[in-house]
Structure 1
Amino acid sequence: MQPKGQTSKEYFKALSIIHAVLLVGQLLFMGALLLSNDNQETENSDNLFLFIAPALAFGGVLGGIFLERTRVNSIKKKKDLKEKVNSYQTTLIMKFALLEGPSLFALVCYSLTADYTFLALSGLLILILLANRPTRDKMIKDLELNREERSLIENPQAIIAEVKINR
């Protein structure tokens, strides 16, 4: 695997695509469940799910906030911009996964119980994920980048990261 420079434009495009794919996947799954007509409400099987799904959602949101804060604090201490942006990308993907997992679980609970509470819970998690859309300004603010680093991030043609490619 050879490292290849990634411009600011390419970096944020890739990060935006990852974010969008996670959102669209959940929305498609939700749409498929809503279109299926075989969801019949069950009487008692959803009681346990009514505790587990919100607990997972709460844990995912809090876990994502905690993970982002702790990792961003350690990323700020790095000197190399390429290390910062690669670590930041990893952090965001992990945060997104902590939101997506409970959302998908809530959708599975909905498919098993036909209880719209789970659909609403998944919708809330999807909205939180949507609100966490990655942007240049958010990265600059989160990582408290200096003037030189900020100018590189804002320049679409500047090489700010490296990706490994197979040749």
Structure 2
Amino acid sequence: MYNQTSVANSQNFVKTINIIHTALLAGLILFSVVAYNINTNKLMSFELSKDAFFYLVPSFIIVGGITGIYLFNQTIKKAINEDSLSSKLAIYSKAFISKCALIEGPAMFGIVVFLLSGNLFYLLFSGLNIIHLAVQKPTKTKIEDSLNLSYEDKMMLG
């Protein structure tokens, strides 16, 4: 019974992690669209100014993306040494959600700064980060390759 439940959970894993990814992505896109539509004084300014956000938003986005990928890779290295598929998938799930959070957080920050300032520069950086998050979409192949799954584990994954 345990084995059948484990197989069923493994087969639903890719679908579940994709739903999480899609929800995070949709939330960012909707927030961006709403922010763009409710902001009435839009401008695009690349001028170096005394506005600290001019440096903070790009810095947070770059640091968040790099940190997310680094921590994901470090966590996945630990998952590869696990024996059971369910343990590997649990670690992968935590690592993936953490990576998405480190990409999503700075994008949200950029959108909020756009709402405050009206400068499309910040929304542009958030848009680039949204694209970065979209590219991170988990697929069965990406999961298998990341975790170096055996043939048996690949069959259990679906």
Residue in structure 2 matching 1:49, options 49, 53, 71: 53
Distance 2:26 2:141 in 1: 24
Over the aligned positions, Cα root-mean-square deviation in angstroms equals: 2.1
Corresponding residue number in structure 2 for 1:15: 17
Which whole-Å CA distance do the structure 2 matches of 1:40 and 1:90 have between them? Answer: 38
SS in 1 for 2:52: helix
What letter matches 2:31 in structure 1?
Answer: F
- 2:144 corresponds to: 140
Larger % of strand: which? 1
Comparing both chains, which one has the higher relative contact order based on Cα–Cα distances under 8 Å and sequence gaps of 6 or more?
1
Give % identity: 30
Are residues 1:91 and 2:95 paired? Answer: yes
Gaps of 5+ in 2: none
Rounded Cα–Cα distance in structure 2 between residues aligned with 1:136 and 1:103: 26
Alignment of 1:15-164 (within 5 A): 15-39=17-41, 47-153=51-157, 155=158
Unaligned runs of 5+ in 1: 156-167
Structure 2 distance, partners of 1:85, 1:101, is 24
Distance 1:37-1:111 versus aligned 2 partners, 3 A rule:
closer
Distance 2:11 2:26 in 1: 22
TM-score (norm 1): 0.83
Q: Secondary structure at the match of 2:142?
A: helix
Aligned 8 A contact 2:48 2:54 in 1: no
- Partner SS for 1:123: helix
Q: Distance in 2 between matches of 1:53 and 1:116?
A: 12
CA contact (8 A) 1:46 1:109 kept: no
**Equivalent position amino acid for 1:23 in 2:** L
The alignment's TM-score, normalised by the length of structure 2, stands at: 0.88
Relative to structure 1, the CA distance from residue 81 to residue 112 in structure 2 (aligned partners, 3 Å threshold; closer, same or farther) is: same
Q: Decide which moves more: 39-48 or 54-63.
A: 39-48
Q: Please state how far the C-alpha of 1:46 moved relative to its aligned partner.
A: 6.8
SS of match in other structure, 1:17: helix
Structure 1 residues 72, 113: closer, same or farther in 2, change over 3 A?
Answer: same
Bigger fraction of residues in helix? 2
